[in-house]
C-alpha cells in the first residue's frame, strides 16, 4: 500500500467512524461461499447477456453481477462474445476493451461489512490514469493502465468527490460518490483523443 493510499484510508476511517452505528441496516446476509459473480461493462451499450441472464437497460453499459455456480460461462454485448471458466468465490468482469475485444478481468471485491469496495476501470486510450480524492488531498488509486481495473477498500459509509487525473491534469470529475458498507462502487473512465468522461454506479447483484 502506497503512502498516499494509507493516508486516504486513515482519513476516511476517521471521518466515517461517527456514522458506523447508524447504518446497521446495510449489513447483508453472507452469500454462498462457493458462488461466483460475473458482469459486463461496455460503455455505450444498453443490452448484454451474462450466462442465461439478459439485461436490456444497462445503465452506463454496466450490468449487475450475476450470481453463478463456478464453471464455464459465456457473455455477450453488442457484437462481442466471450467465454471463461470461473473459479469459486470470485468476482469477474467482461470488459468491452478499446481494442474491440471482450476481455475478462478479475475484481478484488471483499464485501466487507465495515468497508466499501471501489473498483476503477480505465477504458480510455491513455496509457495510465490516477484517481484522486481532493478533499483529503490523497491518491486513491494510481497508474491504472488501459483495459484494466484497480480496487481499494475504504471505510464506510462515506461520500467523497473524486478526480480522474493524468499527472496534474484533471480529466474528469466525480462529485459526491456515495460509498456504503458491503455495497461497493464502480467507476468507469472512457474516451479518446482528448474527450474523456467518467461516471460512478453502485454495484448491484442478481441471482
Q: Is this model's pTM higher than 0.95 or not? A: no
* Distance from the first to the final alpha carbon of the chain: 34
In DSSP terms, which residues pair with 172 in a beta bridge? 164
What is the distance of C-alpha 195 from the center of its chain? 21
Helix or strand or coil: residue 97?
Answer: coil
Range of the domain at 37: 3-206
Per-10-residue mean pLDDT of the chain, 207 residues long, equals 48 40 37 90 96 94 96 96 96 95 94 92 97 94 96 92 97 95 93 96 92
pLDDT digits (tens, 9 = 90+) for 168-179: 999 999 999 998
pLDDT digits (tens, 9 = 90+) for 58-79: 999 999 999 999 999 999 999 9
Q: What is the pLDDT of residue 207?
A: 84
Joined grid coordinates for residue 100: 474491440
Q: Which of 140, 148, 162, 179 is nearest to 10 (CA)?
A: 140
Q: What is the pLDDT of residue 8?
A: 56
How many structural domains does the chain have? 1
What is d(CA 31, CA 36) in angstroms, rounded to the nearest whole number? 10
Amino acid at each position: 500500500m502506497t503512502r498516499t493510499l494509507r493516508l486516504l484510508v486513515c482519513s476516511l476511517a476517521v471521518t466515517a467512524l461517527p456514522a458506523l452505528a447508524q447504518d446497521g441496516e446495510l449489513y447483508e446476509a453472507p452469500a454462498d461461499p462457493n458462488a461466483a459473480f460475473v458482469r459486463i461493462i461496455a460503455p455505450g451499450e444498453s443490452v448484454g447477456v451474462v450466462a442465461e441472464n439478459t439485461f436490456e437497460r444497462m445503465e452506463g453499459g454496466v450490468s449487475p453481477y450475476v450470481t453463478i455456480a463456478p464453471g464455464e460461462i459465456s457473455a455477450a454485448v453488442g457484437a462481442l462474445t466471450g467465454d471463461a471458466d470461473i473459479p469459486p468465490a470470485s468476482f469477474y468482469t467482461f470488459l468491452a476493451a478499446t481494442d474491440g475485444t471482450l476481455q475478462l478481468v478479475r475484481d478484488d471485491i471483499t464485501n466487507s461489512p465495515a468497508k466499501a469496495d471501489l473498483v476503477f476501470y480505465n477504458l480510455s486510450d491513455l496509457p495510465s490514469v490516477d484517481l484522486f480524492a481532493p478533499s483529503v488531498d490523497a491518491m486513491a488509486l494510481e497508474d491504472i493502465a488501459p483495459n484494466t481495473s484497480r480496487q481499494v477498500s475504504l471505510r464506510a459509509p462515506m461520500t467523497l468527490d473524486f478526480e480522474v487525473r493524468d499527472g496534474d491534469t484533471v480529466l474528469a470529475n466525480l462529485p459526491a460518490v456515495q460509498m456504503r458498507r458491503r455495497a461497493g462502487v464502480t467507476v468507469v473512465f472512457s474516451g479518446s483523443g482528448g474527450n474523456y468522461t467518467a461516471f460512478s454506479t453502485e454495484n448491484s447483484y442478481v441471482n
